[in-house]
């Protein structure tokens, strides 16, 4: 699994002009799922992301996680994180999991996060518009081992 994690002051995802997920301070997570991913990968990534200490303490050091600041998560499916562009000019998505495999793992990721803190999400497989105010900016690439 691959995720692009952004610390945000606010973020919103809309589908056909309707807001389907919106958060204040917290993390926007773009989540990509590979053909080789398993439930073990999902559970590892949930634990890693919700415990990332990427929020400032009173001295400006990255000491707090999203739970410490009372933050939320916005999770957006993003199969294009597995786009391979080393050859040619058009991305190859052969490593990305097909929707029938990816959606249950995406839903498990959301459920796992919801056991710990508030989570909003995009609509799996939809054409979405995502807006955000990146805080810092702080943007991290988090990938399962």
Q: Tell me what percent of the residues of the chain surpass a pLDDT of 90.
A: 99
Task: Report the C-alpha gap between 87 and 110 in whole angstroms.
Answer: 33
Residue in this structure with the two tokens 């993390």, named with its chain if needed: 27
- pLDDT confidence bin for 23, thresholds 50/70/90: very high
pLDDT of res. 5? 98
Domains of the chain plus CATH, in order, are 2-143 (3.50.80.10)
Residues 81-126 have pLDDT tens digits of 999 999 999 999 999 999 999 999 999 999 999 999 999 999 999 9
pLDDT tens digits, residue range 30-53?
A: 999 999 999 999 999 999 999 999
Q: How far apart are CA 29 and CA 49, in angstroms?
A: 9
- Active centre residues (catalytic): 78-80
The pair phi, psi for residue 104, each rounded to 5°, is: -60, -35
Question: Is the distance from CB of 50 to CB of 66 less than 8 angstroms?
Answer: yes
Once rounded to an integer, what is the mean pLDDT over residues 116-142?
A: 97
Give CA torsion, residues 36, 49, 17, 137, to 10 deg: -120
pLDDT value of position 67: 97
Q: What mean pLDDT value characterizes the chain?
A: 97
pLDDT at 79: 96
Report the distance separating Cα 122 and Cα 112, nearest Å: 16
What radius of gyration do the chain's Cα atoms show? 15
* Closest to 32 measured CA to CA, from 71, 67, 76: 76
- CA-CA distance, 1 to 31, in Å (whole number)? 7
145 or 61, which is more confident:
61
The H-or-E segment that residue 103 falls in is helix 99-114
């Amino acid at each position: 699994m691959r995720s692009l994690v952004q610390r945000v002051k606010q973020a919103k995802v809309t589908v056909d002009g309707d807001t389907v997920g919106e958060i204040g301070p917290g993390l926007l997570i773009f989540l990509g799922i590979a053909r080789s991913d398993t439930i073990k990968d999902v559970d590892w990534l949930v634990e890693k992301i919700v415990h990332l200490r990427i929020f400032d303490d009173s001295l400006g050091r990255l000491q707090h996680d999203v739970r410490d600041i009372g933050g939320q998560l916005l999770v957006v499916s993003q199969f294009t994180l597995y786009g391979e562009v080393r050859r040619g000019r058009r991305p190859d998505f052969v490593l990305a999991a097909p929707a029938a495999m990816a959606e249950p793992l995406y839903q498990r990721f959301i459920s796992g996060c919801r056991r710990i803190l508030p989570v909003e999400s995009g609509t799996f497989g939809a054409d979405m518009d995502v807006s955000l105010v990146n805080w810092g900016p702080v943007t991290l690439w988090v990938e399962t081992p």
